[in-house]
Structure 1
Amino acid sequence: MKQIYSKILMMVLVVLLASTSFITQPKNIHAAELELDAESAILVDAETGKVLFAKNPDMALPPASMTKMMTEYLVLEAIENGEITWETTTQISDYAYSISANPNFSGIGLTQDKSYSVKELYEAMAIFSDNGTTITLAELIAGSEGEFVKLMNQKGEELGLPDFEFVNSTGLDNETLGDNHPEGTDPNGTNLLSARSLALLAYNLIKDFPHALDISSRIEDDFEGYTVENLNWMLPHEASYLKQFYYEGMDGLKTGYTGLAGYTFTGTAERDGNRLISVVMRTDSKAARFEQTARLLDYGFGQFEDKELFAKGFQLEKQETLPVAKGKEDTVEISINEAFTVPIKSGEEELYKVEYTVNKDKLNKDGELVAPVKKGDKIGTATLVYTGENDNGYIFNSKNQTVDLVADQTVEKANWFMLTLGAIGDFFSGIFTSIVDTVKGWFS
């Protein structure tokens, strides 16, 4: 009987243990297991720009309303530069009104012969993806949408976006705009950006104008007497059918849809001080773009952890010093001026190393620094190199992260007397070497 009870007890314990393991097991998606239906996708660490996952990241595709992130950037920049303020008002042009009144386009419905503030227009654009307000802001800043498109492409170059072409401010296809397509652009053209370019645009928008997230994270807004909900379903909406998409830490950034682009989304979320940026392009439905984003973010938060791999002041073994000419000291110690901290997978610490590149312009023909050398002088750069496989590099189209390599102390220039003695010593040393070489020649 005791044996029967013991077996039953063991079975109960096994079942309980298995159940507990199932319940508490965190989501732990490996890159090899991360399959996305999106045609193109990317996941980026917002602090370092490290690319954590990429699928066809350099394929230029229609971004739809994710285009508006560039419009947002230029509006916020104009406010920062004092060209406009949040309280600046403007009226709606015939073109912007016609787009707003068209039920085929995303919009709230604007009123002509009424003044709207920049704040009202921006919030409608960022929260509800309104196209009419976007065009109105473009016209306010540049005089016309055609001139604004020029600013968009100029800023794209300035930000270093690798794959992009802007033809309008909204993300609509020019063909749908008819005669209203921006002057100087292809009547049949469409905006084109890669997932990498969109992630870099989002990276700069968040870095330069963090206030953008205060607006993009708002669940709803009042406009023209109506309450409109944010199109980002991953925010904590009250509607029961949207709660399944809620993602902890989500606070932006921009949805998009056209028939050509499919359903797209640039998302960003922060957990425990770590912020990630994701982009998915050409998914099949509204729900799919958020489901794909959740998988990306789960992978990033679950698999990576910020690690300080090499602290500030780190020195490479056997490369701790550089020779100094004409100084009171013959050498100077060098080290990295800031730590290398990056998101890495557990157990991969040993796959990273540091390499030095000394600025040749700092050295004489003998490979020496020339005194005086001041503490903190930049001597070159130190590069963090990943020696493992399948490294996606950084959002800046670079494979590696660099910091400055600096002098650790000051080496003053030697006085004229010591320099003279040194020169004399070098002179006689040269003569002695010449004599030795001559004598060797007699007996060779």
Structure 2
Amino acid sequence: MKKNINLIISLLCITVFVHNLFYAVPLISQNLYGVQAVYAKADDTLPLISDGSSVDYMSYIPEMKCSRQVEKALSVRNPEISVDAKAALLIDAKTGKVLYHKNALEPIFPASTAKILTALVVLDWCKTSEVVKIGNEVNLIPYDSSRAGLRAGDKLKVYNLLEAMLLPSGNDAAYALAVHVGRKELKDNKADAMSAIREFTRLMNDKARDLGAENSCFISPDGYDAIGQYSTAYDMGRIGLQALKSKTITKIVKERTTTIKMANGRTLPLWNTNALINKDSVWYESHVIGLKTGTTSLAGRCLISAAQTDKGLVLSVIMNSSSQGRWNDSLRLLKYGRKVMSTNK
């Protein structure tokens, strides 16, 4: 009996090892064998970052610009609020007025908060009712990515893929959406996944510039750390403000849980990673409506959130905070923002 148990345990360990190795192959091949990265800024030689301690990633980041408009926006007297985050921003979403800022123009890594921009680009190009067939692009994501659980061959509506990307922060969903839109832009339904993803990231950067995010470069549709990818708290605030104008995005990010039912009968349960909207969490805040979490080794713990006030919405951007800090930082800023907006006539 004991031998049988040991045999079962050994087989399970081997299965887990093979599964993880399968997903790790794209990342390993990029780092060890010089294979070109999935993403490309210009010359197809900028890889994903699996270990930030071994890469001089700051050398790829240019000096941040500060236009007169941005300088004026940030020329406000900060309240005495302390946050753990390396960079932070608080904005009156109705007027666009900055209420608080900390290192708002310093380069940061967006992590999965970049998926807000991905969602905006997708909605520019797709109807939410469009059906997307999932391909092998979902196997390109690094082994340590967050996943929604998509499989090649699945068929989902764009709306459901947005749920899969924004709630559990599925990198697999981000890739599937990027390939779908990239092929649309290329006018080639058979374009290879890497070419489609590169085209999609070009659209991301075009969109970011249109929104006034001038100090950003997006290389991955899921926000996974990559050499040459960066943003700022101010830029992510611009992107967040645009997301608040989308009924589709704001509807999705309010959801705590949902279940996607696919045509083949398979179901996919999804849970929101945002503790501020989880009623069972100690950080729950009833006025919060989203938006998106983000976590990577370089980005730290991030959260772009918004809360309702009697005068409109207030948007908080927390970048590179601690595990508990991103929740406490966000609640601290949102509480102040709600107070300011309620007292303003």
TM-score by structure 2 length? 0.69
Question: How big is the shift at 1:31?
Answer: 4.8
2:262 is aligned with 1:222: no
The 2-side partners of 1:31 and 1:158 are apart by: 28
- Could you tell me whether the CA contact under 8 Å between 1:252 and 1:267 is conserved in 2? yes
Aligned equivalent of 2:289: 251
1:142-157 equivalences under 5 Å are 142-143=182-183, 144-157=196-209
2:215 is aligned with 1:163: yes
Q: Residues 303 and 158 (structure 1 numbering): CA distance in 2 closer, same or farther, change over 3 Å? A: closer
Aligned equivalent of 1:271: 309
Aligned equivalent of 2:31: none
The alignment partner of 2:276 has SS state of: coil
2:234 is aligned with 1:196: yes
Aligned equivalent of 2:318: 280
Aligned equivalent of 1:302: 339
The 1-side partners of 2:80 and 2:240 are apart by: 26
The 2-side partners of 1:117 and 1:44 are apart by: 33
The 1-side partners of 2:316 and 2:79 are apart by: 18
- Could you tell me whether the CA contact under 8 Å between 1:107 and 1:132 is conserved in 2? yes
- Could you tell me whether the CA contact under 8 Å between 1:67 and 1:191 is conserved in 2? no
Which residue, 85, 90, 96 being the options, matches 2:127? Answer: 85
- Could you tell me whether the CA contact under 8 Å between 1:162 and 1:196 is conserved in 2? no
Q: Residues 96 and 226 (structure 1 numbering): CA distance in 2 closer, same or farther, change over 3 Å? A: closer
The 2-side partners of 1:233 and 1:266 are apart by: 12
Question: How big is the shift at 1:96?
Answer: 1.8
The 1-side partners of 2:310 and 2:342 are apart by: 11
1:89-128 equivalences under 5 Å are 89-99=131-141, 104-128=144-168
Look up the equivalent residue of 1:62 and give its one-letter code: F
Q: Residues 61 and 74 (structure 1 numbering): CA distance in 2 closer, same or farther, change over 3 Å? A: same
The alignment partner of 1:234 has SS state of: helix
Aligned equivalent of 1:292: 329
2:277 is aligned with 1:235: yes
- Could you tell me whether the CA contact under 8 Å between 1:172 and 1:190 is conserved in 2? no
- Could you tell me whether the CA contact under 8 Å between 1:64 and 1:191 is conserved in 2? no
Look at both structures and tell me which one has the larger radius of gyration over its CA atoms: 1
Aligned equivalent of 1:412: none
Look up the equivalent residue of 1:65 and give its one-letter code: S
The 1-side partners of 2:157 and 2:340 are apart by: 44
The 2-side partners of 1:296 and 1:274 are apart by: 15
Q: Could you tell me which runs of 5 or more consecutive residues in structure 1 were left unpaired when the two chains were aligned.
A: 1-29, 79-83, 175-188, 309-444
Aligned equivalent of 1:49: 96
Which residue, 26, 36, 55 being the options, matches 2:83? Answer: 36
Question: How big is the shift at 1:103?
Answer: 5.2
The 2-side partners of 1:245 and 1:255 are apart by: 14
Which residue, 116, 130, 135 being the options, matches 2:170? Answer: 130
The 1-side partners of 2:274 and 2:313 are apart by: 17
2:120 is aligned with 1:76: no
After superposition, give the CA deviation of every residue in 1:48-107 in whole Å (9 maximum; x if it has no partner): 0000000000112101000111111011122xxxxx3222222222232342xx651100
- Could you tell me whether the CA contact under 8 Å between 2:300 and 2:321 is conserved in 1? yes
The 2-side partners of 1:48 and 1:32 are apart by: 19
The 2-side partners of 1:46 and 1:32 are apart by: 18
- Could you tell me whether the CA contact under 8 Å between 1:62 and 1:190 is conserved in 2? no
- Give the RMSD, CA atoms, in angstroms: 1.8
- Could you tell me whether the CA contact under 8 Å between 1:221 and 1:229 is conserved in 2? yes
Question: How big is the shift at 1:211?
Answer: 2.8
Please, which moves more after superposition, 90-99 or 211-220? Answer: 90-99
The 2-side partners of 1:116 and 1:108 are apart by: 13
Question: How big is the shift at 1:248?
Answer: 2.5
The 2-side partners of 1:256 and 1:40 are apart by: 14
Higher relative contact order, chain-length normalized (CA < 8 Å, sep 6+) = 2
Please, which moves more after superposition, 165-174 or 107-116? Answer: 107-116
TM-score by structure 1 length? 0.54
Q: Could you tell me which runs of 5 or more consecutive residues in structure 2 were left unpaired when the two chains were aligned.
A: 1-76, 184-195, 261-265
- Could you tell me whether the CA contact under 8 Å between 1:256 and 1:265 is conserved in 2? yes
- Could you tell me whether the CA contact under 8 Å between 2:277 and 2:289 is conserved in 1? yes
The 1-side partners of 2:341 and 2:287 are apart by: 16
Aligned equivalent of 2:39: none
- Could you tell me whether the CA contact under 8 Å between 1:171 and 1:190 is conserved in 2? no
Question: How big is the shift at 1:117?
Answer: 1.7
Look up the equivalent residue of 2:181 and give its one-letter code: I
The 2-side partners of 1:307 and 1:32 are apart by: 15
1:300-339 equivalences under 5 Å are 300-305=337-342, 307=344
The 2-side partners of 1:54 and 1:139 are apart by: 36
Aligned equivalent of 1:211: 248
Q: Residues 226 and 115 (structure 1 numbering): CA distance in 2 closer, same or farther, change over 3 Å? A: closer
After superposition, give the CA deviation of every residue in 1:113-143 in whole Å (9 maximum; x if it has no partner): 2322212211101111100111111111112
The alignment partner of 1:49 has SS state of: coil
More strand by share: 1
The 2-side partners of 1:96 and 1:269 are apart by: 33
Q: Residues 154 and 98 (structure 1 numbering): CA distance in 2 closer, same or farther, change over 3 Å? A: closer
Question: How big is the shift at 1:112?
Answer: 1.5
The 1-side partners of 2:140 and 2:234 are apart by: 33
Which residue, 98, 104, 110 being the options, matches 1:63? Answer: 110
1:168-179 equivalences under 5 Å are 168-174=220-226
Look up the equivalent residue of 1:173 and give its one-letter code: D
Question: How big is the shift at 1:304?
Answer: 4.2
Question: How big is the shift at 1:274?
Answer: 2.4
